[in-house]
Each structure stands twice: as structure tokens, then as C-alpha cells.
Structure 1
């Protein structure tokens, strides 16, 4: 009797959505690491300038915005949602912060906080509209993409706002040429991983993406969790906007156009399921690195913009096919 009970308990634990979502993580990490190192080796062989400190520092300083947004998008995709508005949220939040500094005379900290609040509210609105009216997040976020981009043009009067070195400290090199923005991005990756794998909220997120109806029957209301996930996505997109402004020393209403596709690509390459219920923040960070190395390598070997787009698109499709085959093998 005890043996049967113990066996049943183990089977239930093994079959839980959370354990299923995290199963095989080390194998995923190893596979992504092999791909990343293979790409580094390939581009190092094709270009004599790729294997250098300057290249890797440049990559590190260019990925913070993509990395922090990819963390948020990982949570969004795990709950079987999608957010196409992140590029527009980035632009609007940066524009609001720039206006606060240049026009309203706020200090950098207050302006930055206002920019972050803007992103938080944008994400919360996206989540709330989709939840309250039970609309597909694809449609809601697509509408927000257009509306928020228009708002960014209005705030900036359709002109680039030059903030100078007011917030450049966020992009200033502090250690071996690496910026503080990169270290902040690493910290957010670690925090996101801990939240997803070690907290009740993370379990709820995975549970909602796996079987939302089962979560309801268990007495857990998925609506506030969904809204929270989108609000956090907006907050991280706003932080990415501040990082971009710090690097460029300006807030451009056109910045972030198409960046939502790059963010989703990084998350998908990292193995997060578009159907929800499965994903890893660490694997997503590997996806970010793979995209960054691919872009840097193609640029150094002289690939044209159309060629880079074709190759990047093929890599994304291949990554999805490989992940689908792997999941079928694990399920079998």
C-alpha cells in the first residue's frame, strides 16, 4: 500500500506542468551552447577580426535591450500569449523620459521612473484588454503596436530628441569595456530564471500555459497573473528603451521598429513553445547570444542586409523544427 502510494506520488510529481516544462533543461542548454560555440568558431575562421575582445565587447554592449525584453517575452509566450507592441512601448517610454528631461526639467531618476511607469501601464492595458474582453493577445498587441507608435510620434513631435549625456551613464563602460546596461541585463536574466523556476508565481505561469482550465478548477484565477505578465513585459520594454537612449544619447520615435520580431525570434530559438506551457529564461538568453553573434558575424564577412535577413529567418525556422522534433521524441 505504501509502495503504491509512493509510486503514485512520484508519477503525479513527474507529470506536473512545472516539472514537464523544465524537463531536459540541461540538454537544451548544452545544445544551444554547442550551436553558439560552433557559430563563433565558424565566423572566427571566416573573418580574422571576429575573434577579438573588441568584437565580444561590442556584442555585449548591443544586446542588453534585446535581452531584457526577451526575458519578458519568455513569460508571455509561456502563458500562450504574444506581445507585438514591445518595440512601440520601447520607443514611447524612451520618448516620455526624454521629454521629461528636456521639456519638463525633471532630473534623470524621476524621468527614468516616468518612462518605466509608461511601459508598465502600456503592458497592463494590453493584458487587461485581452483578459476582460477575452480577445487574442495577437490582435490586442497589434493594435497597441500602432497606437503606441503614433503616441511616440506625438510626444516627440516626430523628431529625434537628443538628451546628450544625461542618461549615458547606463551605457558607459565600467568593466573591461562592458557597460552597466549589460550587467543589469544579466541580473534580470538571473531574476527571471529564479522567478520562473523557484517561485509559486512561476509555477502558476507555466500552469496557465499548460492548462488554464485546470488552473481555474484548482481555484486559481489566471486573469491577474496574465495581466501581471504583460505589465512586466511593458516594464522591461521601457527599461530597454532607456538602455537604447543611453547608448544613442537620443530618443528616436522610430527606434524599435520590427524589434518585436527579433525578441520573439530569440525566445523561440531558446526553445520556448509558441503554444505555451514550456520555456526557459536561461535558454532564451542563449537565443539572444546566438542572434547577436549571427548578426555580428554576418556583418564582418560582408553579408548584405537581404542576405542577413534570409539567413536569420532560416536559422529561426530550423530552430523551431529541431525543437518540435525534440519535443516529440521526449513525449514518445
Structure 2
């Protein structure tokens, strides 16, 4: 009986988020006759891989008590590197993609090394990286979109007979891997411990600095994966891609219950947060809501999510 209660208790946060998602689907299905269709589900599934990759890395960064504002810029930079290498230099995707991943991972490592090594808040460091990566993207692409075409779009196009893209399948695999890493490895347990009480971890003899830097590197790798996903979906590299996506990534994590204060988070729940945001945006688009109104509503969702996170933290502290 105790085992059953424990399982039900662990599922409660998931069920709450699934209920919110179900309510959104029901509301938009009533307001728009075209929403509750298979084509909408396929469209949503094939639009979320880039945000999903970012959310996997962002969840881990938030859990250790950091934040990464540079994820959108690193996505664009990885996409730019892909575009230049494949279009200008004629490289295959199998040669260009590792270089793009290496660039975004190195940028993530720089974020972590400066933040951890010099004790500078990651908010400031990654904000600086955001500007540098955006500038580097414009330099690499000469501020022009680079069309790649079928050489890369196969990764973001639905597989015939399955209706979902390879990018979506890889993104789901990343979510599963991220959750297993967090809950089934010592490394993942240390991440939670660092976010909960970094000083206690240090006093216990655990070297937290290399672990924290590696999490920022992993976030950079996820940015590279997101760059590949978005480039394949758009068939081109856009120097202005993913502006503001870091806010959506943070919002998805907070909606999923990841604490902005560190020490608490769940990759699967963050993914459900991605679904909630994408359903919201898709539903509003089908209702003909203007881009300005969609931004207001999305911003309101972020504020409410942060408020609920603060209230939940206070409640836990009292109990």
C-alpha cells in the first residue's frame, strides 16, 4: 500500500500538467473547428524539437542553480555554422554537424568556466554570451539567410507513414536520456544536491565546479542539436533565428515545476511545459490572434508560472 501511495504521489505533478494540457486542447477545440485534427497534432510534434532540446539543457542548468540566457543565440550560431559549411564549402551534414556541435558546446563551456571559476552569476555571463553569439552569427552569415534545401530538410520532415520527423524522435530520446541522467546517475543526484545546498556539497568533499561546467557544456550541445532541428525545419540558416526562444525555454521549465532557485526539476515535466506552450501558440494562431497579443499572453503565462513557483516554494518551506 505504501508503495502504491508513493507511486501515485510521484505521478501527481505529471497528472496536473497533463490536465492543464487537456483543458487547453478542449478549449481550443471548441473555439476552432480545425484544431482537434490529426494534422494539428502532426504540426505541433514537428515544430517542437528545437525548443525541446533547449529545455533539456535548460532544466539541468536551472537545477544546479544557474540560468542560460544564451541558448537562442547559440542555436542560431550552430545553425549559421551548419549553413556556411554545407552551402559555401560544400561539406556533408555528417562533417558539418559535429563542427556546429563543437562550437555551441565550447560556448557553453566558456559560460560555465567563467561563471563557476570566477563566481560571476550565470545570468550576467550568459547575457554577454548572447550578444557575442548573435554578433558572431551575423559575421559568419554576413547577415544573410543561407538556403541549404533537401540536404538537411530530411531531418525535420515527417517520415512517410509515421507522420513524425527524425528530429522529433531524437528530441524525445534526449528527454528520456535527460530524465534518466537526472534520476538514475550519481552525476544527476549531485546536480540536485548542488542546487539545493552547494556549500554542503563542497563540505562533503565533492568537487562541484567541474560538474557545473559540464552541465553548461551539455546545454551547449543541446543548443547545437536545436540548431540542426530548426535549420532542417526551415531548410536554411537564418541569422535572426530563435530570438526570444530562451524565454520560452525558461517558461516551459518553470511550468513543468523546475525551480528558478535550483535544486528541483524534472525533464519530463519540462517537456510537458513545451507542449503546453506550443498548444497555446498554435491555438491562438488558429483563432487569428495577432502576434502582439500572442506575446502578451505568452508573457502572462511566464509571469503566472513564476508566481506559482514562488508560492509553491513558500508552501514547501512552511511544511
Q: TM-score range by the shorter chain?
A: over 0.9
Q: 2:103 aligns with which of 100, 113, 118?
A: 118
Deviation of 1:25 (Å): 4.0
- Please list the CA deviations of residues 80-128 of structure 1 after superposition, one character each: whole Å capped at 9, or x if unmatched: 1011111110111111111111222322101011111111111001111
Aligned residue among 212, 217, 232 for 2:198? 212
Q: CA deviation at 1:316?
A: 2.2
Q: Aligned partners of 2:73 and 2:316: how far apart in 1?
A: 38
Deviation at 1:308, TM superposition (A): 1.2
What CA deviation, in whole Å up to 9, does each residue of 1:179-205 have, x standing for no partner?
Answer: 111111110000000000110010010
Q: CA RMSD in A?
A: 1.6
User: How far apart, in 2, do the equivalents of 1:150 and 1:304 lie?
Assistant: 29
How far does the alpha carbon of each residue in 1:295-323 deviate from its partner, in whole angstroms, 9 at most, with x for none? 00111112111221222222222223333
Following superposition, the deviation at residue 330 of structure 1 comes to 3.9
* Counterpart for residue 163 of structure 1: 148
TM-score by length of 2: 0.94
Can you give the 5+ residue segments of structure 2 that lack an aligned partner in the other structure? 1-5
Q: Deviations over 1:24-61 (max 9, x none)?
A: 54221111010000000000000000000011100000
Query: Is the 1:271–1:320 Cα contact (8 Å) retained in structure 2?
Result: no
Q: Is 1:233 aligned to 2:212, yes or no?
A: no
Q: Which residue of 2 aligns with 1:45?
A: 30
Match of 2:245 in 1: 259
Contact 2:251-2:305 at 8 Å conserved across structures: no
| Distance in 2, Cα, partners of 1:226 & 1:184 | 25
Give the number of equivalent residue pairs: 312
Structure 2 counterpart of 1:187: 173
1:35-114 pair list within 5 angstroms: 35-114=20-99
- On the 8 A contact 1:39/1:293 being kept in 2, the answer is yes
Contact 2:42/2:163, CA 8 A, preserved across alignment: yes
Q: Write the distance in 2 (CA, Å) between the matches of 1:122 and 1:190.
A: 25
Structure 1 residues 23, 34: closer, same or farther in 2, change over 3 A? closer
Separation (CA, whole Å) in 2 of partners of 1:34 and 1:218 = 41
**SS of structure 1 residue aligned to 2:90:** coil
- Change beyond 3 A, Cα 1:24–1:320: farther
SS of the residue 1:159 aligns to: coil
Q: Which runs of 5+ in 1 are unaligned?
A: 1-18
In the alignment, which of 233, 246, 258 is matched to residue 247 of structure 1?
A: 233
Change (3 A) 1:142 1:23: farther
User: Which is worse superposed, 288-297 or 170-179?
Assistant: 170-179
**Superposition TM-score, scaled by structure 1 size:** 0.91
| 1:138 equivalent in alignment to 2:134 | no
